[in-house]
Amino acid sequence: MRIILVGTSVCWAIALSAGVLVGCAGEPHVAPTMPRPSVALRVLVVNDAPLAEAIQRLRGEWTELSGGILSATSVSWEEFPKNESSESLPADVLVFPARYLGEFCERGMLRPVRVTVLSGDGYQADDVFPVVSQWLVQYGNKVMALPLGVQVALVGYRESWLANRDPPSTWPEYLDLVRQQGVAPEWWPTEEAGDRRYAVEFLARAASYAADPGEESALFDLETFEPKLATLAFVRTLDEWIQETNLVREAAKQQSADGGNARVVWTVPPGSEQVLNRSSGPAGSREDSAVGLHRSPFIADGRLVGVATGSRNAASAFKLLAWMGGPEIRDQLGKASGKSLPVRRSQLPGIVEWFKGFVDRVDEASLAEATEAALSQDHCLMIPQIPGVDEYLDELGAAVENALIGKATASEAMSQANAKWEAITNRRGRDAQRRAYLILQR
């Protein structure tokens, strides 16, 4: 009989080459696998501390899913690094107000969203409202971020006002209702304070007069980049707002008995049978098969999430992006701050949970119906997402406020705002601003 002795070292070599540990006299054991490398992703949230806190609360879920580490911090727009390069920005993922999209893209701070994310089962692109997918997230025909929420202008009327009538469909009907009640309806969004809030509501009121689906731009001339604020559409808008303000001032100062706790019915702003052109008079009637009126929704803002250009973990950052925009997480983030409404049809049930500040007295059915009606359009008046947008809004809001308190006529105020917008454009560079605006208009 022939006996062959195998040395211990040879035994270990054979075992290791086979991927298992085998004792010469024992049972085989699976070799220990190396743990996945832990990727730390940083999320920087602009102007939304509650949303940053909501992302922080998801750290455990992300770690369980990916094995990575997630952190979120909040910063105001005033504190946001203005001069740093995209590579030095301390973030892998950015969450930000939609109005800053143009500035982020012009500074090269965002990567286009990968096709694999947009076409993935989680994103469900067909569920997103047309206005959101066409206007809110695109820059130069590229999707640069995923939407978490949108701010579309809505008007709220006390339920008792509408007991025997429909909500006003035209601005004359709206003014008649204010005359009868002596109190102005509520407008949403109300996030912005001071001059900027006046600007947002003013543009919402002007949308049906100024935003002609047959024209490429309502706010600026595309050739010269001169603003259009001094034109008839905007002057008439401000004149009607002045009339409304005077009606309320002339009425009793005390609110009606159901004032602070009145149930509110929400709807889209009134429409117009005339879209006013740049010079004088109507540019023609615009028929809408449903209501016989021209209505243009005004998109005031929203919340977007995108991958930072300077991220060194882009592959993992896009996985996080897809997860944040997926069905299990996006509702939690969308509702977190109360500054936006749903961007998807599937999110309309339970919309009242998004509408913080009005939850106890909002008519949920009307809110869902109004949101869907506004966001299902294929056109809108969009807040100018160009660099320096807040400067433009501040100057517009200051001019509007001057008119509302009687310091200027509507025509004077719009001429002043027009001149201020020209000054901002000249300071920032007309060619650069025009280029950014053209990219947004596509």
Same domain as 280, residue 383: yes
The pLDDT assigned to 103 comes to 94
- Per-residue pLDDT reduced to its tens digit, 140-173: 999 999 999 999 999 999 999 988 889 999 999 9
Q: Is residue 374 part of a domain?
A: no
Is residue 10 pLDDT above 60, yes or no? no
Same domain as 294, residue 328: no
Q: Could you tell me the pLDDT band of residue 15, with boundaries at 50, 70 and 90?
A: very low
C-alpha closest to that of 423 among 386, 395, 387, 381: 395
Give mean pLDDT, residues 390-395: 96
- Per-residue pLDDT reduced to its tens digit, 68-120: 999 999 999 999 987 776 777 889 999 999 999 999 999 999 999 999 999 98
Contact 413, 380 (CB under 8 A): no
Same domain as 209, residue 80: no
Same domain as 330, residue 294: no
Q: Is residue 147 part of a domain?
A: yes
Same domain as 389, residue 425: yes
Other beta carbons less than 10 A from residue 22's beta carbon: 16
Looking up residue 227, the CATH number of its domain turns out to be 3.40.190
Same domain as 168, residue 130: no
Q: Domain limits at 413?
A: 154-298+379-441
pTM of the model: 0.86
The pLDDT assigned to 25 comes to 46
Where do we find the tokens 């504190």? 79
The pLDDT assigned to 7 comes to 43
- What is the rounded CA–CA span in Å between residue 367 and residue 373? 10
- What is the rounded CA–CA span in Å between residue 11 and residue 339? 66
Give mean pLDDT, residues 235-254: 88
Contact 29, 58 (CB under 8 A): no
And the tokens for 345? Answer: 């049809």
Least confident of 25-29, 43-47, 339-343: 25-29
Q: Calculate the dihedral angle through the C-alpha atoms of 391, 394, 397, 401, rounding to the nearest 10 degrees.
A: -140
Same domain as 262, residue 170: yes
Of the CA atoms within 13 Å of residue 387, those in its CB half-sphere come to 21
Pairing assessment for the beta strands 154-158 and 142-143 based on DSSP bridges: unpaired
Number of domains comprising the chain: 2
Same domain as 323, residue 420: no
Q: Is residue 135 part of a domain?
A: yes
Looking up residue 132, the CATH number of its domain turns out to be 3.40.190.10
Q: Which residue has the higher pLDDT, 294 or 230?
A: 230
Is residue 257 pLDDT above 50, yes or no? no
Same domain as 141, residue 46: yes
Q: Could you tell me the pLDDT band of residue 8, with boundaries at 50, 70 and 90?
A: very low
The pLDDT assigned to 164 comes to 81
Phi, psi of 222 (to 5 degrees): -70, -20
Same domain as 174, residue 160: yes
- Among 323, 341, 364, identify where a domain stops: 364
The pLDDT assigned to 14 comes to 36
The pLDDT assigned to 211 comes to 85
The pLDDT assigned to 261 comes to 66
Contact 296, 376 (CB under 8 A): no
Q: Is residue 1 part of a domain?
A: no
Spatial neighbors of 174 by CB under 8 A, at least 6 apart, are 168, 185, 244, 270
Same domain as 227, residue 141: no
Same domain as 176, residue 281: yes
